[in-house]
């Protein structure tokens, strides 16, 4: 048998054909980003990779290859014993490394010698990343988006989750980016993924959706935390998306914010530190007032004032400026952010969009 090298653009279309996608890079490389669904079978760990790389620079390529070969051979033996022993003859793996193919080629050779029909990614992760980015310039434009709009605390993210449970197609960008998109929006104890990982997650989600059905998405900014929304996606959402404006009484918005940002209400110092980012926009004196309320435990007052003085005005200006469909948005009022109200709204929205689709109307 012979190991087959597949061009990256073909791999992009054929990921589902392989029983296992194997990333042989180091754990840190894998964590930064990897092919969708890939398992990490590192042939060098992070420290070993650094040591071999240093040997290339400080000693010679020959000495580095000798050192690397011994480490790789030992690690591949471990993988074969632990991960391949129970694989049947028809198992079809796809293997890749960073670019040059030495690490992936070594494991692929062993798998081929055993008798498995093995493929490698020609050009490795680097080539796949380039093919994915090229596809992200076109893929988002194939869908019709229903853009869920609404002021801070109006339940947009919760409604997306309810829509997903109701069987609608949903692209939850804040979930993928692990951030709520505001100054206070970092997830507790969860760092954001890398930009590469977000791009891959968006591509993977969209590639699994049906372009004949609408996709519900939240009205995001170009950046969510420190990460950028793919350009073709945000452009299509803004220019062609059909907006649905969610309304909720202010008191219920505050209740929702107190629930979603509970982790901040238990750490007043961290909360006040985050508010410092608003000094340039709202002035030091106003920020000090909010910080004093926070330290006094008056978080409901802080959230209400933040809504009225900061988030609501910014939201309105942004929506009017950036989303072409906002002026003609349909309206949906939520009594509160509870499960029953959200489920009713989600069922109504999905039925409305499905009826429009059946009738051949814009969704």
Domains of the chain, by residue range, sit at: 4-135, 141-358
Token pair 């608003």 is found at 278
Helix (H) or strand (E) holding 121, with range, is strand 119-121
User: Which residues are marked as active site?
Assistant: 97
Number of helices (H), then strands (E), belonging to the chain: the values are 18, 12
What was the pLDDT predicted at 95?
Answer: 98
What was the pLDDT predicted at 110?
Answer: 96
What was the pLDDT predicted at 229?
Answer: 98
What was the pLDDT predicted at 342?
Answer: 96
What was the pLDDT predicted at 66?
Answer: 83
Angle, nearest 10°, between helix axes 124-136 and 195-207?
A: 60
Residues 326 and 148: beta-carbon distance below 8 Å: no
Regions of the chain with pLDDT less than 50: none
Of 105, 110, 104, the closest CA to residue 81 belongs to: 110
What was the pLDDT predicted at 356?
Answer: 64
pTM of the complete model: 0.93
Q: Which CATH number describes the domain made up of 4-135?
A: 3.40.250.10
Distance from first CA to last CA of the chain, Å, rounded? 51
Rg over CA atoms, the chain: 25
What was the pLDDT predicted at 334?
Answer: 95
Residues in CB range of 111: below 8 A, 6 or more apart: 3, 84, 93, 95, 118
Residues 166 and 346: beta-carbon distance below 8 Å: yes
Tokens of 303: 């959230």
Give the pLDDT confidence of 210-260 residue by residue, as tens digits: 999 999 999 999 999 999 999 999 999 999 999 999 999 999 999 999 999
Of 118, 98, 99, 117, the closest CA to residue 108 belongs to: 118
CB atoms within 10 A of CB 113: 11
What was the pLDDT predicted at 339?
Answer: 95
What was the pLDDT predicted at 60?
Answer: 82
What is the rounded (10 degree) CA torsion for 223, 228, 234, 238? 20
Of 227, 175, 196, the closest CA to residue 125 belongs to: 196
Residues 206 and 252: beta-carbon distance below 8 Å: no
Residues 238 and 219: beta-carbon distance below 8 Å: no
Q: For the domain made up of 141-358, give the CATH fold.
A: Rossmann fold (3.40.50)
Tokens of 251: 């008191």
The span from the CA of 132 to the CA of 126, in Å, is: 10
Token pair 């926009």 is found at 281
What was the pLDDT predicted at 100?
Answer: 82
What was the pLDDT predicted at 207?
Answer: 97
């Amino acid at each position: 048998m012979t190991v087959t090298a597949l061009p990256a653009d073909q791999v992009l279309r054929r990921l589902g054909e392989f029983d296992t996608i194997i990333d042989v890079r180091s754990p840190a490389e894998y964590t930064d980003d990897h092919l969708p669904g890939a398992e990490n079978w590192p042939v060098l760990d992070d420290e070993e990779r650094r040591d071999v790389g240093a040997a290339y620079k400080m000693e010679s390529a020959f000495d580095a290859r000798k050192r690397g070969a011994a480490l790789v051979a030992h690690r591949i033996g471990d993988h074969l014993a632990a991960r391949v022993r129970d694989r049947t003859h028809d198992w079809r793996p796809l293997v890749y490394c960073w670019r040059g193919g030495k690490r992936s080629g070594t494991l692929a050779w062993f798998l081929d010698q055993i008798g498995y029909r093995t493929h490698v990614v020609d050009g490795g992760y680097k080539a796949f990343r380039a093919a994915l980015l090229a596809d992200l310039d076109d893929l988002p434009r194939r869908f019709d988006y229903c853009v869920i709009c609404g002021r801070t605390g109006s339940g947009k993210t919760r409604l997306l989750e309810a829509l997903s449970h109701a069987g609608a197609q949903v692209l939850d960008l804040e979930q993928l980016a692990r951030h709520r998109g505001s100054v206070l929006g970092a997830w507790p104890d969860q760092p954001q993924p890398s930009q590469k990982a977000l791009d891959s997650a968006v591509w993977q989600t969209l590639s699994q959706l049906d372009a004949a059905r609408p996709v519900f998405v939240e009205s995001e900014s170009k950046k969510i935390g420190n990460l950028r929304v793919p350009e073709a996606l945000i452009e299509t959402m803004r220019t062609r998306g059909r907006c649905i404006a969610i309304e909720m009484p202010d008191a219920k918005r505050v209740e929702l914010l107190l629930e979603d940002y509970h982790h901040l209400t238990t750490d007043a110092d961290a909360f006040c530190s985050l508010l410092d980012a608003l000094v340039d926009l709202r002035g030091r004196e106003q920020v000090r007032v909010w910080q004093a309320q926070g330290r006094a435990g008056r978080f409901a007052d802080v959230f209400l004032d933040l809504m009225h003085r900061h988030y609501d005005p910014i939201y309105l200006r942004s929506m009017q400026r950036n989303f072409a469909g906002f002026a003609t948005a349909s309206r949906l009022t939520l009594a509160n952010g509870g499960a029953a109200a959200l489920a009713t709204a989600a069922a109504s929205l999905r039925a409305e969009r499905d009826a429009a689709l059946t009738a051949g109307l814009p969704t």
